[in-house]
Amino acid sequence: MEHPGYEEIYTRFHDKVLYYIRAKVSVPEDAEDICSDVFTKIYQNFEKYDENQAEISTWIYRIAHNAVIDHYRKQKPSEELTEEIASFEDIEEGILNREKLEKLGEALKRLSEKDRSIIVYRYYDGLSLKEVAEKLDISYSGCKLRHTNALNSLKGYLELS
């Protein structure tokens, strides 16, 4: 049985997900296989997706992110994953560089004041997340979580506009 909307999601996100995976995996054939697995998982779990929990793009990128991690775990189980692989830095840069500043400004207005401050300090002032955490008097792990959530929210706002 075909899930309504799945074809649209596949069309809208396939190239973006493949690009994300290719940035993380050096073998193009592996990237293609992982991308295929991601969309199989999306299809199999499509009815479980709850739009009140996260934007569809956040959910899809989380599945892709986990698939890349699984790929590396299978390849070299004793090797620790690098922070680059285990982060959303490529998505972050793509979001911030891909959209026009006007759209970004409107999306930033939709964030809470603290989340907006994290984004401004990080990307406009060039502070590290550790420096941002100190400046806002919050824990580093809390800052990282808020940073990721704020970027995912921005991504969702920008995709809607």
Band of residue 143 on the pLDDT scale cut at 50, 70, 90? very high
* Model confidence, pTM: 0.47
Q: How far apart are CA 35 and CA 14, in angstroms?
A: 8
Q: Is 4 helix (H, G, I), strand (E, B) or coil?
A: coil
User: What torsion do the CA atoms of 79, 81, 84, 90 make, to the nearest 10 degrees?
Assistant: 120
- The string of pLDDT tens digits covering residues 2-32 is 555 778 888 989 999 999 888 888 888 999 9
Give me the helix-helix angle, 6-24 and 56-75, nearest 10°: 40
Q: Are 153 and 111 in contact (CB under 8 A)?
A: yes
Domains of the chain and any CATH numbers: 6-75 (1.10.1740.10), 89-160 (1.10.10.10)
Q: Is the pLDDT higher at 82 or at 152?
A: 152
8 Å CB contact between 119 and 151: yes
Neighbouring C-alpha atoms within 13 Å toward the C-beta of 157:
19
